[in-house]
Amino acid sequence: MVCTRDRPLAFIPTAPSLTCLRPAAFAAPRHSSSTCCPNSRVSRRTRVAPLPRLSRIRQRPHPRSPYKPPHASLQSLATRLPRLIDALTALFPVWVASGALLAYLHPPALLWFSSSCIVPVLALIMLGMGLTISPSAFLAIASTPRQVFLGAIAQYGLMPFLARFLAGAFALPSPLAAGLILVGVCPGGAASNLVCLIAQADVALSVVLTLVSTLLSVALVPLLMELLAGTLVPVSAYALFLSTAQVVIAPLVAGAVLKRSFPRAVDKVVRVLPLVSVIGVTLICGGVVAASAGLLADVGPRLVGAVACMHATGGILGYIIARVFRLPVKSARTVSIEVMMQNSSLAVSLANTHFANPLTALPGAISATMHSVFGSFLAGAWRLMDRWQEKRKVEETGRQPPLQEADAYRIIEE
């Protein structure tokens, strides 16, 4: 019998098994003590590697091969879709401003979105906020009581009275003055969380402040409206309390229950909810502007000036108050953004439900556009300031700054 250990493929019909049917690529090296001949000395410690399965070979194509598995395109789409959603959500000031401008220039484009659609869309937005609430948010309230208390005081102790002062300073008509005050007494909006993320502020504190101000709005919105706007228009505190509870508390509780009951399904849906909220706010603002486009030409400059001054002054004073009480810079930025950005959609919904004059809802639509633009501009300015300070620190010390989490994820993906 002839030894075939040096051949690429051997076939020995007299062998009791087919262990010698092995390509040269998977055979033992020549310098090894193992051999495929029955008469050779075989080391018991040496074991020949088994042949790879055909399915494994097919799943590992050559890098330069044009062949791609059929599921590769689906994986690529699943990877790019979250990035696309995040990019579209980050452009929310552009969508809101574009919707308001389109409604003003061509009202029939958004007249189909009537006042009857506002409450269901707002309930959907608040439901999405409820789906993102976790028990850790309530634990964070206990861990940072000073920041939460100061943020809530700045929210409801500054904006309502600032709105009342500016309504008189700009000599707004009674319906518009009541609408501006209604915007001032509303809680912080969910868009503030995204702005805090862009501004590299304390996002966890932003979520907690939004939740706390939303829960407090059930009692404080009716009381403050009756106190500050009761002499301008008839205000029913009890009716406002019921409407606020229905639009705010019920969706929040329903979202929290759904998240606890169906966590896997909620985790799949929650990534799309910010984009849904942006679309809802754009439709609400566009519908209100389209319904009042004819009257906006007469009172537009004064109303836009009053709304812009309210949001800009609220953001500046919120930051100053936070720094006076020695909050960290990130927490001060969060308080500033939360005070400046109101839940204008809630103001529009309450105005359409409880006030007969359609002009009362107009300040809420202008406010949604204004605070989105201001918030994005402020977040971008703070982000550029941080990069400039880091660059200057590197030039002075020669040490690289610590890698941020978002930058680490970007590097890993690349």
Share of the chain above pLDDT 90, in %: 9
Q: Average pLDDT of 75-99? A: 76
Q: Average pLDDT of 34-40? A: 48
Distance CA 105, CA 154 (A): 37
- For the record, the structure tokens of 154 come out as 């700045």
Distance CA 228, CA 139 (A): 34
pLDDT in tens, 187-228: 887 778 777 877 778 877 887 888 888 888 888 888 898 888
Compute the mean pLDDT over every residue in the chain, rounded to the nearest whole number.
75
In this structure, the chain runs to a length of: 414
Highest mean pLDDT among 23-37, 41-55, 58-72, 204-218 belongs to: 204-218
- For the record, the structure tokens of 361 come out as 């809802």
Q: Which helix (H) or strand (E) holds 307?
A: helix 293-324
Q: Average pLDDT of 324-329? A: 89
- The sign one gets for the Cα dihedral 277, 280, 286, 289 is negative
Instruction: Please identify which residue in the block is written with the tokens 């608040």.
Output: 126
3-state secondary structure of 342: strand
Closest CA to 164 of 225, 218, 240: 225
Distance CA 215, CA 343 (A): 13
Instruction: Please identify which residue in the block is written with the tokens 């707002």.
Output: 122
CB 212 within 8 A of CB 148: yes
Instruction: Please identify which residue in the block is written with the tokens 């880091």.
Output: 390
**What is the per-residue pLDDT for 377?**
80
pLDDT in tens, 172-191: 888 899 999 999 999 887 77
Cβ neighbourhood burial of 116 (10 Å; 0-12, 13-18, 19+):
exposed
Cβ atoms < 10 Å from Cβ of 235: 21
Distance CA 253, CA 127 (A): 8
Decide: pTM greater than 0.75: no
Phi first, then psi: what are they for 113, rounded to 5°?
-85, 85
CB 5 within 8 A of CB 40: yes
Does domain 113-397 fall into CATH 1.50.10.10? Answer: no
Distance CA 288, CA 182 (A): 15
Closest CA to 193 of 4, 306, 344, 341: 341
46 confidence band (pLDDT: 50, 70, 90)? low
Task: Mention every residue, 6+ apart, whose C-beta is less than 8 A from residue 15.
Answer: 38
Distance CA 12, CA 2 (A): 9
**What is the per-residue pLDDT for 200?**
74
Ranges 40-44, 151-155, 222-226, 277-281: which has the least confidence: 40-44
Distance CA 46, CA 105 (A): 83
pLDDT in tens, 215-261: 888 888 888 988 888 777 777 777 778 777 777 778 878 888 888 88
411 confidence band (pLDDT: 50, 70, 90)? very low
Q: Average pLDDT of 152-172? A: 91
Residue 11 has pLDDT above 50, yes or no: no
Phi first, then psi: what are they for 342, rounded to 5°?
-100, 165
Alpha helix segments (H runs only) across 171-292: 174-185, 191-198, 203-229, 237-244, 250-261, 263-269, 273-291
**What is the per-residue pLDDT for 184?**
92
Alpha helix segments (H runs only) across 132-202: 135-143, 145-169, 174-185, 191-198
Rounded to the nearest 10 degrees, the angle between the axes of helix 203-229 and helix 135-143 is: 80
26 confidence band (pLDDT: 50, 70, 90)? very low
* 3-state helix vs strand vs coil in the chain, percent to 5: 70, 0, 30
Dmax (CA) of the chain: 114
Residue 93 has pLDDT above 90, yes or no: no
Instruction: Please identify which residue in the block is written with the tokens 């404080």.
Output: 220
15 confidence band (pLDDT: 50, 70, 90)? very low
Instruction: Please identify which residue in the block is written with the tokens 């400039």.
Output: 388
Q: Where are the domains of the chain?
A: 113-397
CB 368 within 8 A of CB 96: yes
What's the number of CA atoms in the CB half-sphere (13 Å) around residue 351?
31
Q: Average pLDDT of 67-96? A: 69
Closest CA to 202 of 321, 325, 327: 327
21 confidence band (pLDDT: 50, 70, 90)? very low
Distance CA 256, CA 129 (A): 9
